[in-house]
Amino acid sequence: MGYPIDGILLVDKEKDEISFDVIRRMRQVLPHQKIGHAGTLDPLATGLLVILLGQGTKLSRWIMSQMKIYEGTLRLGVETDTLDATGEITARKSVPEGIADGLDAACAELVGEIEQQPPRFSALKIQGRRAYRLARKGVSFDLPRRKIVVKSLDVLSIRLPFVSLRVHCSAGTYVRSLVADLGTKVKTGAHLTALRRVSSGSFSVEDAIPSGSIQQGCDPHSVEKKVIPLGGALPGMAALQVDAALAGKIRQGYQPAWDELGGGSLRGEGMRGYLKIMREEELIAVAGGNEETTQDGRARLVRVFH
């Protein structure tokens, strides 16, 4: 593929490592690359981590905004300050045998557009400081509730006091908070004991490489072969094809009129109103839809790829 590498890489993150650990190892294997990721995972969590390479870092906003699917396990009857198994126990309650009958109904109450309270132990910032750092020091603060979308929340199995769930949700959802809310609804309390991200948008963890295989000394070509090029990194976004001449002009800073793109009717469709401008399989630019045009009606180029 050669350097620099532009695209994304799907990685299956292991438990007890932070997302930056994967970045650090990637830099050892591909030392001359610009590298980032689209959506962090807590150390407790495993599963899909989308690594951004080179100009792939320009795609962060669209990849991060995609719906996610998680599979997790919660424990009823025990609450913790972090809302997961890494925290200190704050409350214990009994778990009645008949609770299983009410779990599906409780899950249904959490489906749809809801307001969620983020965990105090999170990476969100309060006046420039990470919330989890303040929480560890016992500082009193409030995190604003925010709207999320839970498309589905299904019980996979029950082995009391443990319950396995599958969650299809919007970006920015804290599954820990969702589990805590479920524990409140069934009046036993609950905390998250395991979590795995199985998909993000069209990308699945089944297609990811194990994070443990990325380490100094491994064959960089084996990693490069798994890279998804820029043209395939936004499969959920509508696309317009342009010829070589127009592609070259766009890369030089030219903002085409919608008529030149030959697909003005597509404006506003695709991924939140954005469009890919393609030259065959090559990504040339991402343009805004109806809400992101210039004053003279030309396409507003949000990102250009060279």
- Number of H helices and E strands in the chain, helices first, is 8, 19
Q: 């424990």: which residue's tokens?
A: 75
**What is the distance between the alpha carbons of residues 285 and 290, in angstroms, rounded to a whole number?**
16
**Coil, strand or helix at 139:** coil
Handedness of CA 21, 23, 25, 28 (dihedral sign): negative
Amino acid, res. 89: I
**What is the distance between the alpha carbons of residues 51 and 147, in angstroms, rounded to a whole number?**
26
Query: Is there a catalytic annotation at residue 296?
Result: no
**What is the distance between the alpha carbons of residues 265 and 256, in angstroms, rounded to a whole number?**
15
**What is the distance between the alpha carbons of residues 106 and 112, in angstroms, rounded to a whole number?**
13
Tokens of 232: 């395939």
Q: 């249904």: which residue's tokens?
A: 108
Q: Which of 240, 228, 266, 279 is nearest to 63 (CA)?
A: 228
**DSSP one-letter code for 161:** T
Q: Which of 14, 52, 39, 72 is nearest to 201 (CA)?
A: 39
- From the list 6, 16, 21, 42, the catalytic residue is 42
Burial per residue of 208-227, b for 16 or more beta-carbon CB atoms within 10 angstroms, e otherwise: bbebeebeeeeebeebbebb
Which residues are catalytic, by number?
42
